[in-house]
Amino acid sequence: MMESSKRPLNVLARNLNNPIQVKLKNNMEYRGKMTECDSYMNLILEEAVEYENNAPMANYGNILIRGNNILYISVTPTQ
């Protein structure tokens, strides 16, 4: 059984207000500060930037990403 501190939702909750990288199933990638997440892994990112092939394509303010569109999430470890 997975430790409760290692469960994906717990990892996300511990990383609120930290930078994350989100890759979607359609190959789009977003980076920004995660300010909200819920039990469906719906996310709100602030200062979101859209990337394609590691190059920034567009700057957004706040965006909502639906959890069912997410391929993976990479969290930046807190210092």
The per-residue pLDDT for range 59-71, each reduced to its tens digit, is 999 999 999 999 9
The helix (run of H) or strand (run of E) holding residue 3 is none
Largest CA distance in the chain: 41
pLDDT surpassing 90 at residue 1: no
What letter would DSSP give residue 5? G
Residues of the domain holding 63 = 4-75
**CATH number (domain holding residue 54):** 2.30.30.100
Q: In this predicted model, what pLDDT tens digit does every residue of 5-41 receive, in sequence order?
A: 678 899 999 999 999 999 999 999 999 999 999 999 9
Cβ atoms of 12 and 45 within 8 Å: the answer is no
Number of structural domains in the chain:
1
